[in-house]
Amino acid sequence: MLEPRDMAVDDIVRQGLSRLEFADEILRAAASPERIGTVLTGILRDRLTVGPMPFGPGGLMSVHAVGRMQDATVESDVRDHTRLTVHLPMVLRVDVHVGGMCAKFLAGVCIRVLIALALDRPCALLVQPAPVSPADVTVRIHGVNTLARWASRTGVVSPLLAAEVAAHANTILEDPTLTAVSRIDVLDLIDRAWSSGLILDRFSA
């Protein structure tokens, strides 16, 4: 027969988190949507220059774009928190050179990046972005000069810019130097918290 004290302990165990629930909460905290959005914004913000890239017959035309990144927004899949959709908005100044002429545009661009979180041994989380396609890039373009206003009516520039932005985003996201950023070692984080005294400091404060 269980003693009252043993029954109380059993109640606490039943009401507490299971091991799987605990691990799940740790992983949610290690790769929260807000942190993923902040990291991607920081990575792309520092490298937001596209081109100049040649295109058209014989590469007679080229596109060059520079701009600024705004803060990302992140949506979690309500059915699976290991899947995220990141929206990266930006404003670009775009120059399209055709021979000796230049069409100047302002463009509002939003890149959609699908993220999958995968587990890795011994206790790590991999942040895996899917390749960005032109269909993942929304472009709203405004012609600044006369040539650009004419070109914008042809509907050619927006798909071209979407393709170039997608290719640029993939070049950055596939950069081997980002491997360290895309792997979150949970055990290392815990070890550093113990070693730095952060955990004990909470009791001495």
The tokens describing 158, both together, are: 């927006």
In the structure encoding, which two tokens stand for residue 64, read together?
A: 């060059």
Helix axes 33-45, 157-173, angle to 10 degrees: 110
**Read out DSSP for 6-59?**
HHHHHHHHHHS--HHHHHHHHHHHHT-HHHHHHHHHHHHHTT-EEEEEEESGGG
Q: What are phi and psi of 118, to 5 degrees?
A: -120, 145
pLDDT tens across the length of the chain (205 residues): 445 544 454 554 455 678 777 777 777 777 777 877 777 777 776 667 877 777 666 667 788 888 888 888 888 877 777 888 999 999 999 998 887 899 999 999 999 999 888 888 887 888 888 999 999 999 999 999 999 998 888 888 888 889 888 988 898 888 887 766 678 787 777 787 777 766 566 555 5
181 and 120 Cβ atoms separated by less than 8 Å: no
